[in-house]
């Protein structure tokens, strides 16, 4: 089971998450998409894939901010959790992909296991964000097979 946690302000990250979810299902994975993730509704013994954009001055989108607040306050150990992060951002800002970096740092500090380096997708690139995510996905699937 892979829980996909979505942080999307304008819809691009949500669309990427939907495309990745569809590809994971086609690869044989059971996937659950969380458009308003809540920590107490997530299984800490599974895999989380966070797909988020960076909004404003490096901020998390409104729909995933409550999850980040819950995670920051949680005292539990996440050493049974595996995770990966896809972040959408714009490299013309010095806060490029800061939201994904923030979430992965917080998960690591709580003992979670990162499967693969964050995928940081730049809005300045000509390809669509989902193309980068789908090209990265086989690397993630390879790591899922080894855990």
Q: Is 12 contained in some domain?
A: no
pLDDT at 45: 85
Q: What residues make up the domain containing 44?
A: 28-146
pLDDT of residue 146: 85
Looking at residue 43, its pLDDT comes to: 87
Examine residue 138 and state whether it is found in any structural domain, yes or no: yes
| Mean pLDDT, the chain cut into blocks of 10 residues (147 residues total) | 95 97 97 94 91 92 96 92 97 94 96 97 94 97 89
pLDDT at 137: 97
The number of folded domains in the chain is 1
On whether residue 33 sits in a domain, the answer given is: yes
DSSP E strands in the chain: the ranges are: 2-7, 31-34, 47-53, 82-89, 113-114, 119-122
pLDDT given for residue 15 in this prediction? 97
Instruction: Assign residue 122 the CATH number of its domain.
Output: 3.40.50.360
Say if 5 falls within a structural domain: no
């Amino acid at each position: 089971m892979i829980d996909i946690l979505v942080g999307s302000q304008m819809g691009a990250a949500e669309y990427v998450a939907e495309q990745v979810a569809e590809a994971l299902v086609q690869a044989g994975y059971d996937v659950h998409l969380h458009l308003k993730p809540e920590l107490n509704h997530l299984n800490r013994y599974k895999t989380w894939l966070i797909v988020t954009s960076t909004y404003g001055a490096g901020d998390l989108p409104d729909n995933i901010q409550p999850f980040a607040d819950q995670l920051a306050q949680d005292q539990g150990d996440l050493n049974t959790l595996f995770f990966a992060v896809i972040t959408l951002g714009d490299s013309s800002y010095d806060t490029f992909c800061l939201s994904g970096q923030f979430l992965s740092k917080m998960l690591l500090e709580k003992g979670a296991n990162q499967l693969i380096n964050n995928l940081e997708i730049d809005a300045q690139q000509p390809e669509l964000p989902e193309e980068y995510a789908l090209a990265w996905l086989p690397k993630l699937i390879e790591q899922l097979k080894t855990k």
